[in-house]
Amino acid sequence: MNVRDMDGASRLDAARDVLTRWIASQPCGARVGLGFFTERRSLTLIEPVEICTDYATLAGTLAGLDWRMAWEGDSMISKGLNHALNRARGLDAALIFVTDGQEAPPLPYSGPDGWREDSPGGVVLGAGGDQPAPIPKFDDLGRETGFYGPTDVQHAPARIGAPPTDAADRPGFHPRNNPYGEADLEGSEHLSAMRAEYLTRLAGERGMGFARLSAGPAALQATLAAHAPARRVATHRSLSPVFGALALAVLLAALLATPLHARKETP
């Protein structure tokens, strides 16, 4: 999410901007919560709150999100999405999940985790551009030191789990010492692009819609409306207009009930 391919801004900065503007466009009474995802789990920062009462808190929390808050370096998208969906379902809320879709480490040959539960619905919001871009590298003090190179990362698919069915036909194959062969030792995982096809697939399997972060709040809202069931929320409404109307009606009734001679001016 630190890749700067959103009109010169990082994906994280663009996500902050779009989500803040989307929250501001919602009517009073709508409820929004915030969390962030790292490794395979999501952490809830704010459970759903009413946006007009708590807008400053929501906007301030979004503005304070930072990549240094991540507690792990991995980014397991399908596992993290499943965890976030379970959390959203427990809160009776639809989910907006922002990600570039790049699995790190790459998926094994068996593919991503599936989903077999009821879905609360929502949107997978794809961050990033379609062209692979360099990924900034930072030192232990958070200072940018350059970009990741081909030898810094593991390339797809990950060499974990069962080997591919054609492993025996790959160069360098050995059933004990090299069961994967050597056809997958090079790749482009040191570059990052938004994986739209993969995210569309994950969203569809989970009863969610897919939209691009670059399309802005309107596209997010349209996709959410099409893929999230309507939910009733309790709201507080002032009764002062009702009491005001009743007071006016009582006043008019009192005037009409007063005998005509009682309202004539005394000579």
In this prediction, residue 217 carries a pLDDT of 97
In this prediction, residue 111 carries a pLDDT of 86
pLDDT over 50 at 261, yes or no:
no
Q: Which domains does the chain have, with CATH numbers?
A: 11-154+189-239 (3.40.50.410)
233 pLDDT band (50/70/90 cuts)?
Answer: low
267 pLDDT band (50/70/90 cuts)?
Answer: very low
Question: Is 153 in contact with 103 (CB distance < 8 Å)?
Answer: no
Percent of the chain with pLDDT over 90: 58
71 pLDDT band (50/70/90 cuts)?
Answer: confident
Residue 6 to residue 91: CA distance in whole angstroms: 31
In this prediction, residue 262 carries a pLDDT of 42
pTM: predicted TM-score of the whole model, two decimal places: 0.80
Please name every residue paired with 1 in a beta bridge, in sequence order, or none if there are none: none
Reduce the DSSP state of residue 160 to 3 states and report it.
Answer: coil
